[in-house]
Amino acid sequence: MDIPAPIAKKARPFFLSFFQALSDDMNTLINAPVECALTEIALRRGEDDLSELFETENSVALTLEDGLHSGHLYMVMDVTAAIALSGLMMMLPQAVVEKSVKTRDITEEIDEGFHEVANQIMGSLNTWVEKKLEGSHLFLESTEQVGAGELPAQVDREITYLDVGMEITVSKFRPAPVRWLLAREFADQLLRLELPASEEELAAAARKRGGAPVEEEPPPPPPPPTPPPVVRRPDEYEFDFDAQAFLARCNGSELPAPNEPGGLRVVMTLPPCTLSAHEEVSRAVAAAFQEEHRFIGMDRNGVVVRVIGQSDLRRVMGAFYGSKAATPREKALLQLPISKLNENQRMISILPQGTIDQAADLLKSHNLHALPVVASNGQLRGFVPIQALLLYYRKRA
């Protein structure tokens, strides 16, 4: 599809600036030169139009905008660039990376590495998106390897995409193409555009905004009366080492019921550790491995906005960090602000007045190792680890 010149002109400055910043971020991540350059801007709609981008093997990342729910985007990266970035990030031997790039061989290790590379790239983009579009947030939904001539399973063939072409040069490898496909509604909101759309697309968007009329259902019968909840003083919901020890020494009959409001106090066994978003990664490493905090809350303006675990830091710093003198890459990473970590994380938390059953449901549904307990004013009160819940239910059995 031809793109109107005013739309291309309006989109161009954003991506020029972002690609320059992305070059710097990737350079830091893999400790090797990376150059990202804008090549073209176009529009795509329909299977024939989209298929032109998938004539060779690609590594694809699907990202959702889950703050305003304005849409999604795809990053479509030629496998040679995905292999080079992933291999260098994981510090694989140069000869191994070169051989994999030459053969376009995506191993299981490279596939896992690409997911982390995509997470870092989307985190970099998220910084720009949040500045440009208030209330927005990007979340990496999935990554996949797509064969030549195939389209990603979830790509929507009925909507218009803003197609932004990028050429990426990783270290001494040949330049490779990357395409950014922004769904029309997301591109419109982010860049203040009005992309052309088919009548069917506009009708579907109108239905989405307005919704279909729904017949009113009769009100449900009133619930049976329930006993009033146990009212506890606010300070009883703070982390308390006495409460932590209580779980270990008591028997099941002394424990609060799983649906008792505020019962979290006996399973909130990890004390809170909070660091400011501008502090360096080196401070988080010290808190995690020297002070032995398994989970750390990242604070911005008095509100916890993210959680960093020991496993997150090991993944960023590499499996061999600390076993020998720090490499230039590790030194660069240690100087980054911790706000650069887990940028795509969905913050899942529970109020101190929550119940143990609610905490268990959240841990299970979001596959978490620990659940942050956050007060209504945004302050971190502690963490509920999955081990504490297992001990609680074992004693209650």
With helix as H, strand as E and coil as C, how does 359-380 read?
HHHHHHHCCCCEEEEECCCCCE
The pLDDT of residue 75 is above 50: yes
Sorted by sequence, the CB contacts under 8 Å of residue 253 that are 6+ apart come out as none
**Strand order of the sheet with strand 58-65?**
34-44, 161-170, 176-183, 71-78, 58-65, 138-146
Return the structure tokens found at 130: 């949040």
Q: Which residue has the higher pLDDT, 248 or 307?
A: 307
Q: How confident is the model at residue 215 (pLDDT cuts 50, 70, 90)?
A: low
- The angle that helices 356-365 and 386-396 make with each other, rounded to 10 degrees, is 130
Return the structure tokens found at 253: 């009959």
Domains belonging to the chain, first-starting first, are: 5-198 (3.40.1550.10), 234-396 (3.10.580.10)
d(CA 137, CA 125): 10
pTM confidence score:
0.56
**Strand, helix or coil at 271?**
coil
**Strand, helix or coil at 37?**
strand
Residue 20: its H or E element: helix 5-30
The pLDDT of residue 214 is above 70: no
Mean predicted confidence (pLDDT) in 299-322: 84
Contact of 62 with 69, CB cutoff 8 Å: no
Output the pLDDT for position 226: 63
Sorted by sequence, the CB contacts under 8 Å of residue 34 that are 6+ apart come out as 23, 26, 27, 85, 168, 169, 170, 171
d(CA 285, CA 291): 9
Q: Could you tell me which residues are beta bridge partners of residue 306?
A: 298
Q: What's the burial of 206, exposed, middle or buried (CB within 10 Å: 0-12/13-18/19+)?
A: exposed
Return the structure tokens found at 323: 């076993």
d(CA 121, CA 29): 10
Q: Name the residue among 18, 21, 37 with its Cα closest to residue 176.
A: 37
Q: Name the residue among 390, 371, 392, 354 with its Cα closest to residue 309.
A: 371
Q: How confident is the model at residue 302 (pLDDT cuts 50, 70, 90)?
A: confident
Contact of 165 with 44, CB cutoff 8 Å: no
Q: How confident is the model at residue 135 (pLDDT cuts 50, 70, 90)?
A: confident
Output the pLDDT for position 289: 87
* Buried-state track 219-242, b at ≥16 Cβ within 10 A, e below 16: eeeeeeeeeeeeebeeeebbbbee
Beta strands in 107-266 (DSSP E): 138-146, 161-170, 176-183
Residue 28: its H or E element: helix 5-30
pLDDT digits (tens, 9 = 90+) for 250-272: 777 788 899 998 888 888 878 88
∠ CA 199-39-173, nearest 5°, is: 130
For residue 348, what is the DSSP state? Answer: -
Output the pLDDT for position 341: 87
Q: Could you tell me which residues are beta bridge partners of residue 169?
A: 35
Mean predicted confidence (pLDDT) in 314-321: 74
Percent over 70 (pLDDT), the chain: 91
Output the pLDDT for position 161: 94
d(CA 350, CA 203): 39
Would you tell me how many other CB atoms lie within 10 Å of the CB of residue 320? 10
Would you tell me how many other CB atoms lie within 10 Å of the CB of residue 66? 15
Mean predicted confidence (pLDDT) in 321-333: 76
